[in-house]
Chains A and B, each alone.
Chain A
């Protein structure tokens, strides 16, 4: 006689994230409400939303992978391609523009040697011009991954980038 241990569905995520997903889908009145947070958390762990992540999230929620892709493509933070370890997002919207946001974006391009939505060859930095990030009274503002940096000047920006470069061990 063979007794089978209850099979846990295989996961591509860390055990912490998988456990978090188990909770998330059961939390809301409808499983699907967990979709957008799950995609973002998966991206945080894997750098971008991979095909495998889409498959697994679709299965966990009980919708088709196509359904997941359809939602994913709507949201600007979600991506299906890798970016740099540090994703530098420079706001050039009106409040930042008035305080040098566009010049700061040009400065970042020069400093990093890359353009909008490009990644440095060593994979450390990527750059993106973004819309208002909710830091208008402390403009110009930049977000690196989820960290805010505000009241920036070109020099202050250089210092911020240097610090991340050090953290990356480069």
Chain B
């Protein structure tokens, strides 16, 4: 069972029920659960969307799109049924926050889904969990059954005239289906190949109907926003970045864990105070601020507020909330290689720049790290990655290219040190192993 951590600087909103037995529906209700959904049923869609817009809540799945605005794009009238789709594919390396939400507070996901459905006029919602999260799917299934038994789901929810159903759904292993259009394909029982946009899901989505897709943390935050009021929620965060978010601290900090902090919280402070600094008193070398697809930051670049705009200004992205901390012992070439290996493995193969680009990057970096690199490889790696940017069918290509470019740009010296038969110590060891095999 994942360990829960705590720090006095935290502002616990989404995580406020973690460790409090809220998987039990009675306990959840005791902890103010389902009040927001009830209020939303009474006050109606326009009120919900207005509160969401005021709250400044931006999507926690990676792109940071304002949630209230996303919901307002769904046409009011539609011939085809509308849907809510909760994205719990959580596969961006460094990210493990939705894991805790499903584990500790499944009802808040249900409640948020009901509210989203109300806001857009949908009668059905889906909660898609990655296949590896089987034990969490079972928790969700039980919570959904309990909500039906209480009349919070099904016909006439909360005694109103409104019907709403939720289906929980398992994936079967694929990072790419986290991309929203591939997610819909997967839910429709197909390979996770993305769809061309436009049309956007808000207009033509699941089964051809207008669909809102939100990350699980975004959805779990919604009931809290309505309970507190959009304005109060917005005040907690920084400018244009309402509220808090779950940051998954991992890597070489003394106290890794998932911490809930206000948007705009200083990254340096997050590492040194919340995370207890670098393990064993070592030196910080680099930080990957928002999951493996976000460009790496150097120690002199981390005195910034963690919100979508400030991290963007620093040349990276807030992404999925996965803050990966690297100390001086890490070989950056090896780290770049491990990162690209992932994207090569997960590329769905649909478009050539991504399929071939990730493959060549992996091959080149593998050879390079093993000590067989030549000087022009370094520029080639960068050139290859730069030529993938913006030329792929979906953003996975960018997700592979962006960090690669940053590794070469910011750690060029380290790449050069691998030349002329001077691989790093780790690489030498690996080479010997492969010779033995």
Q: Are A94 and B93 in contact (CB under 8 A)?
A: yes
Considering the complex, which residues of chain B in the window 279-327 have a beta carbon less than 8 Å from any beta carbon of chain A?
Answer: 288, 292, 322, 324-326
Question: Is B415's CB within 8 Å of the partner chain A?
Answer: no
* Chain B positions within 8 Å of A71 at CB level: 189-191
User: Which of B164-172, B264-272, B351-359, B365-373 is found at the contact surface with chain A?
Assistant: B164-172
Q: Are B346 and A131 in contact (CB under 8 A)?
A: yes
Q: Are B191 and A70 in contact (CB under 8 A)?
A: yes
CB distance from A31 to the nearest CB of B (A): 8
Nearest opposing residue in chain A for B89, CB measure: A134
Q: Are A77 and B189 in contact (CB under 8 A)?
A: no
Question: Is B151's CB within 8 Å of the partner chain A?
Answer: no
When A94-B335, A98-B330 are in contact, do A75 and B171 touch as well, CB less than 8 Å? yes
What is the CA–CA distance of A2 and B187 in the complex, to the nearest angstrom? 45
Nearest opposing residue in chain B for A29, CB measure: B207
Q: Are B248 and A30 in contact (CB under 8 A)?
A: no
Question: Is B391's CB within 8 Å of the partner chain A?
Answer: no
Q: Are B192 and A74 in contact (CB under 8 A)?
A: yes
Contact of B342 among A99, A132, A137, A143 (CB under 8 A): A132
What is the CA–CA distance of A29 and B208 in the complex, to the nearest angstrom? 11
CB distance from B242 to the nearest CB of A (A): 24
Q: Are A75 and B2 in contact (CB under 8 A)?
A: no
Question: Is B95's CB within 8 Å of the partner chain A?
Answer: yes
The range of chain B's interface size is 35 or more
What is the CA–CA distance of A19 and B293 in the complex, to the nearest angstrom? 42
Question: Is A93's CB within 8 Å of the partner chain B?
Answer: yes
* Chain A positions within 8 Å of B131 at CB level: 40, 75, 77
Considering the complex, which residues of chain B in the window 324-346 have a beta carbon less than 8 Å from any beta carbon of chain A?
Answer: 324-326, 330, 335, 338-339, 342, 345-346
Q: Are A37 and B169 in contact (CB under 8 A)?
A: yes
Nearest opposing residue in chain A for B186, CB measure: A36
When A27-B167, A37-B169, A75-B171 are in contact, do A132 and B94 touch as well, CB less than 8 Å? yes
Q: Are B191 and A74 in contact (CB under 8 A)?
A: yes
When A94-B288, A94-B335, A132-B342 are in contact, do A138 and B3 touch as well, CB less than 8 Å? yes
What is the CA–CA distance of A33 and B250 in the complex, to the nearest angstrom? 35
Residue in A39, A132, A136 with the greatest tally of chain B CB atoms within 10 Å: A136
User: Which of A119-127, A144-152, A155-163 is found at the contact surface with chain B?
Assistant: A144-152
Contact of B96 among A32, A40, A134 (CB under 8 A): A134
Q: Are B251 and A99 in contact (CB under 8 A)?
A: yes
When A77-B172, A137-B2 are in contact, do A97 and B91 touch as well, CB less than 8 Å? no
Q: Are B251 and A98 in contact (CB under 8 A)?
A: yes
Nearest opposing residue in chain A for B209, CB measure: A29
Nearest opposing residue in chain A for B98, CB measure: A134
User: Which of B8-16, B105-113, B252-260 is found at the contact surface with chain A?
Assistant: B252-260
Question: Is A135's CB within 8 Å of the partner chain B?
Answer: yes
What is the CA–CA distance of A37 and B175 in the complex, to the nearest angstrom? 17
* Chain A positions within 8 Å of B174 at CB level: 74-76
User: Which of B18-26, B62-70, B132-140 is found at the contact surface with chain A?
Assistant: B132-140
CB distance from B220 to the nearest CB of A (A): 15
Nearest opposing residue in chain B for A139, CB measure: B250
Question: Is A95's CB within 8 Å of the partner chain B?
Answer: yes
Question: Is A53's CB within 8 Å of the partner chain B?
Answer: no
What is the CA–CA distance of A66 and B28 in the complex, to the nearest angstrom? 46
Considering the complex, which residues of chain B in the window 361-409 have a beta carbon less than 8 Å from any beta carbon of chain A?
Answer: none
Considering the complex, which residues of chain B in the window 69-103 have a beta carbon less than 8 Å from any beta carbon of chain A?
Answer: 81, 90-96, 98-99
Question: Is A104's CB within 8 Å of the partner chain B?
Answer: no
Nearest opposing residue in chain B for A72, CB measure: B172
Question: Is A61's CB within 8 Å of the partner chain B?
Answer: yes
What is the CA–CA distance of A30 and B90 in the complex, to the nearest angstrom? 25
Nearest opposing residue in chain B for A99, CB measure: B251
Question: Is A133's CB within 8 Å of the partner chain B?
Answer: yes
When A39-B172, A40-B172 are in contact, do A136 and B188 touch as well, CB less than 8 Å? no
* Chain A positions within 8 Å of B251 at CB level: 94-95, 98-99, 139
Which 9 interchain pairs have the tightest Cβ spacing? A77-B173, A76-B173, A35-B189, A32-B189, A75-B172, A95-B250, A132-B93, A146-B134, A74-B191
- Known contacts A134-B95, A136-B94, A146-B132; 16 further A-B pairs (Cβ under 8 A): A29-B81, A32-B190, A33-B169, A36-B170, A36-B186, A71-B189, A74-B348, A77-B131, A95-B250, A95-B251, A98-B330, A134-B96, A135-B96, A137-B250, A138-B96, A148-B1
* Contacts A/B (CB < 8 Å), 21 sampled: A32-B188, A33-B169, A74-B348, A75-B131, A75-B173, A93-B338, A93-B342, A94-B292, A95-B324, A131-B91, A131-B175, A131-B342, A131-B345, A132-B342, A134-B96, A135-B99, A137-B257, A138-B2, A138-B3, A139-B256, A150-B2
Residues of B within 8 A of A (CB): 1-3, 81, 90-96, 98-99, 124, 130-135, 167, 169-175, 186-192, 206-207, 248-252, 256-258, 288, 292, 322, 324-326, 330, 335, 338-339, 342, 345-346, 348
